[in-house]
Amino acid sequence: MDRDNQLKEAPSSLVDPFGRTIDYLRLSVTDRCNLRCTYCMAEDMTFLPRQQILSLEELRDLALAFVELGIKKIRLTGGEPLVRRDIIKLVRSISNINGLEEITMTTNGMLLPKMAQQLRQAGLARLNISVDSLKPTKFREMTRNGDLSLWYEGIVAAKKANFTKIKLNAVVLAGFNDDEVIDLAHFAVSNEMDISFIEEMPLGSMSTHDRSKTQVSSANIREKLETKFHLIDSVETTGGPSRYSNVVGSTSKIGFISPMSNNFCESCNRVRMTAEGRLLLCLGNEHSADLRSVMRSHPGDQDLLKNEISKALKSKPERHYFDPNKIDIVRFMNMTGG
């Protein structure tokens, strides 16, 4: 088929071979980070050279192409998105795209004291802020260098900036922070925030712990929480491996993200872009398309870009199979875009 015919056939919505409509993009803006969480990356990381990372213009062109193809929600992530130079400019340019319903971000919160207000003003509606421990020593241990008091300052700044919603994210590891799930939930509820508890995924191998020994299932976390909170299942879903419960007597929700114990792949609605421009079709598989080379070989050709995205979607796998005893996926989470 010649290129003109291919372009005519590019669909205006993204539906994969299993009938799933993809309307959610996680866009990684950097692989770099100001922390080194033990479950996410090695202590001694080599980051990508800057020229391999997508430029601000390339990120905006990609976002536009995806929105024109039917993406409704974009989450900026990384690495740590707030260490990316000109991130505020990027938020502003993406939030102005017609047809995009929501732009959100996942951050470790360390730079929020300086940036929360500007992010809100640039159009960011919601924020996910990660935290795995409310004990300063444990926080430092799990992040390798994080300062919990700075994290608290970030929360105060985010609340002051009036985001429509703030959700906390905690990865739960047996023997590290599984004794804190109730305290973390209390913190969220008493500050009128939501919180999600995440099962650890075997992305990249770790020197600090054996992932097969630190697994804690969502069912186990929920059982602990139910000793203190009355949880009622919510019909709300964001697609993918998360399920939410309302905390009775509060405005908060508790989410259980269970990529290991229950992946809900049949309702997957998302794809991910890595910081170097690889479209990853599934977190637990390596199927991908190199969109950076498409953009760099044909700068400004948005039709071609959209066509390549639609074509790539045909290879979205039906599901993932994670096994904590095996590291099938060697890329770390900071490379993947969480």
- For binding to ligand SAM (CB under 6 A), which residues are involved? 33, 39-40, 77-78, 80, 106-108, 130, 169, 171, 198, 200-201, 203, 333-334, 338
Nearer to ligand SF4, 79 or 154 (CB): 79
Side chain identity at residue 198, one-letter code: I
Kindly tell me the burial class for residue 163, based on how many C-beta atoms sit within 10 Å of its own C-beta (0-12, 13-18, 19 or more): buried
Compute the least distance from the CB of residue 135 to ligand SF4, in Å: 17
Tell me the H-state helices in 168-297: 181-190, 218-225, 291-297
Helix, strand or coil, per DSSP, at residue 255: strand
Nearer to ligand SF4, 84 or 306 (CB): 84
Q: How far is CA 119 from the centre of its chain?
A: 17
Compute the least distance from the CB of residue 98 to ligand SF4, in Å: 31
Residue 329's nearest CA partner among 298, 292, 288, 289 is: 288
Residue 104 touches which of ligand SAM, ligand SF4, none (CB < 5 to 8 A by kind)?
Answer: none
Cβ proximity of 168 and 127 under 8 Å: no
Nearer to ligand SF4, 241 or 338 (CB): 338
Question: x/- contact string, 90-129, with ligand SF4 (CB under 6 A)?
Answer: ------------------x---------------------
The neighbouring-strand residues paired with 162 are: none
Q: In 10 A of CB 146, how many CB atoms?
A: 23
Residue 201 touches which of ligand SF4, ligand SAM, none (CB < 5 to 8 A by kind)?
Answer: ligand SAM
Q: Which range of residues in 17-25, 33-41, 174-182, 250-258 is near ligand SF4 by CB under 6 A?
A: 33-41
Close Cβ partners of 223 (under 8 Å, ≥ 6 residues apart): none
Nearer to ligand SF4, 41 or 289 (CB): 41
Q: What CA–CA distance (Å, rounded) separates 284 from 281? A: 9
Antiparallel, parallel or unpaired: β 165-172 and 231-233: unpaired
Compute the least distance from the CB of residue 308 to ligand SAM, in Å: 26
Compute the least distance from the CB of residue 130 to ligand SAM, in Å: 3
Tokens matching residue 189: 């509820």
Q: Give residues 50-79 in contact with ligand SF4 (rule: CB under 6 A).
A: 78-79
The residues that touch ligand SF4, with contacts defined as CB under 6 A, are 33, 35-37, 40-41, 78-80, 108, 130, 333-334
